[in-house]
Amino acid sequence: MKAVWSWLLELCDLSNVPTVEEGARALTAGGLEVESLVDLGAGFGGVVVAEVVGKRPHPESNKLTLVDVITARGGAATQVVCGAPNVPEPGRKVLWAPPGATLPGGMTLAVKAVKGVESPGMLCSETELEIGDDPSGIIVLDADDGTPLGARAQQALGVADWVLDVNAPANRGDCLGHLGLARELCALLGGRLVPPAPEPDLEALAADLDAAALADVTIGDPEGCPRYVARVIDGLTVRRSPRRFAQRLRAVGVRPISNLVDVTNYVLFELGQPLHAFDWHHVRGARGSRDATRGGVNAGGLYPGRGDGNVPCVIDVRRARAGERMTTLDGQERTLVPDDLLICDGERPVALAGVMGGSDSEVSATTSRVLLESASFQPRSIRRTARRLGLPSEASQRFERGVDPELAPLAAARAAVLLARLGGGRIARGQVDVYPRSPIRPIVPLRLSRIRSLIGADLHPGECEAALLRLGCEVVPDGEGHWKVTPPSARADLGREVDLIEDILRVHGYGNVPATLPALRVGPAQLVDDVADRARRALAGAGLAEAITFGFQSRDRAAALGLATDGSDRRAHPVALRNPMSAEQAVMRTSLLPNLLAAVARNASYGIADVALFEVGAVFLRAAGQALDGEPTALCDEPLHAAAVLAGARPRWLGAPQPWDVFDVKGVLEALTRALGAGELRTVAASDIPYLHPGVAARVHDADGRVIGELGEVHPAVRERLGVEGPVFMFDVALGALPAAAPARMRSIPRFPASARDVSLLLDDPIPAARVRDVISAASQDLVETVRLAEEYRDAARLGAGKKSMLWSISYRAADRTLTDAEVDAAHEAIVARLVAETPAERR
Partner 1 sequence: MPTTSTDLIAQLERLGGEFAAAIAPLADEQSIRAAQAQYLGKKGQVSDVMKELGRLPPAERPLVGQAANKVKDTIALAVEERLGALAAGRRAADLARAVDLTLPGRPVGGGHLHLLTQVRLELVEIFAEIGFAVAEGPQVETDWHTFEALAIPKDHPARDMQDTFYVADEIVLRTHTSPVQLRTRQTHTPPRRIVAPGVVYRRDDDATHSPMFTQIEGLVVDEGVRVSDLKGVLLHFVNRFYARLTGGAGLDVRLRPSYFPFVEPGVEIDMSCGFCRGAGCRLCKGSGWIEIGGAGMVDPDVFAQVGIDSERYTGFAFGMGIERMAMLRHGVNDIKYYYEGDLRFLDQF
Backbone angles phi, psi at 289, to 5 degrees: -65, 155
Nearby residues of 198 by Cβ (< 8 Å), 6 or more positions away: 410, 413, 414, 416, 417
Nearer to partner 1, 140 or 600 (CB): 600
Rounded to the nearest whole angstrom, what is the least distance from the CB of residue 517 to partner 1 in the complex? Answer: 4
Rounded to the nearest whole angstrom, what is the least distance from the CB of residue 382 to partner 1 in the complex? Answer: 10
Nearer to partner 1, 580 or 750 (CB): 580
Residues 801, 804: Cα–Cα separation, whole Å: 8
Nearby residues of 581 by Cβ (< 8 Å), 6 or more positions away: none
Rounded to the nearest whole angstrom, what is the least distance from the CB of residue 387 to partner 1 in the complex? Answer: 9
Rounded to the nearest whole angstrom, what is the least distance from the CB of residue 743 to partner 1 in the complex? Answer: 20
Nearer to partner 1, 30 or 88 (CB): 30
Closest CA to 421 of 270, 239, 277: 239
Q: 290: burial class by Cβ within 10 Å (0-12, 13-18, 19+)?
A: exposed
Closest CA to 427 of 365, 496, 383, 371: 371
Nearer to partner 1, 196 or 594 (CB): 594
Rounded to the nearest whole angstrom, what is the least distance from the CB of residue 493 to partner 1 in the complex? Answer: 8
Rounded to the nearest whole angstrom, what is the least distance from the CB of residue 634 to partner 1 in the complex? Answer: 8
Backbone angles phi, psi at 600, to 5 degrees: -60, -45
Nearer to partner 1, 30 or 409 (CB): 30
Could you give the 3-state DSSP secondary structure of residue 664?
helix
Nearer to partner 1, 427 or 599 (CB): 599
Rounded to the nearest whole angstrom, what is the least distance from the CB of residue 760 to partner 1 in the complex? Answer: 31
Nearer to partner 1, 104 or 509 (CB): 509
Nearer to partner 1, 513 or 703 (CB): 513
Nearer to partner 1, 24 or 87 (CB): 24
Nearer to partner 1, 586 or 807 (CB): 586
Rounded to the nearest whole angstrom, what is the least distance from the CB of residue 793 to partner 1 in the complex? Answer: 27
Closest CA to 596 of 657, 665, 651, 527: 665
Nearer to partner 1, 128 or 503 (CB): 503
Q: Are 484 and 443 in contact (CB under 8 A)?
A: yes
Residues 143, 93: Cα–Cα separation, whole Å: 8
Rounded to the nearest whole angstrom, what is the least distance from the CB of residue 654 to partner 1 in the complex? Answer: 7
* Beta pairing, strands 215-219 & 432-434: unpaired
Rounded to the nearest whole angstrom, what is the least distance from the CB of residue 379 to partner 1 in the complex? Answer: 8
Q: Are 38 and 162 in contact (CB under 8 A)?
A: yes
Cis peptide before 840, with omega less than 30 degrees from 0? Answer: yes
Q: How many CA atoms lie within 13 A of 54 on its CB side?
A: 7
* Beta pairing, strands 611-618 & 640-647: antiparallel
Rounded to the nearest whole angstrom, what is the least distance from the CB of residue 558 to partner 1 in the complex? Answer: 15
Residues 642, 665: Cα–Cα separation, whole Å: 12
Nearby residues of 323 by Cβ (< 8 Å), 6 or more positions away: 335, 336
Nearer to partner 1, 440 or 520 (CB): 520
Q: What does each C-alpha distance from 561 to 370, 449, 642, 731 come to in angstroms?
A: 68, 63, 17, 14
Nearer to partner 1, 95 or 600 (CB): 600
Radius of gyration of the chain (CA): 42
Rounded to the nearest whole angstrom, what is the least distance from the CB of residue 510 to partner 1 in the complex? Answer: 4
Rounded to the nearest whole angstrom, what is the least distance from the CB of residue 572 to partner 1 in the complex? Answer: 18
- Provide the 8-state DSSP code for 47: -
Residues 605, 105: Cα–Cα separation, whole Å: 45
Residues 660, 683: Cα–Cα separation, whole Å: 19
Nearby residues of 729 by Cβ (< 8 Å), 6 or more positions away: 645, 646, 647, 660, 661, 662, 664, 665, 712, 713, 714
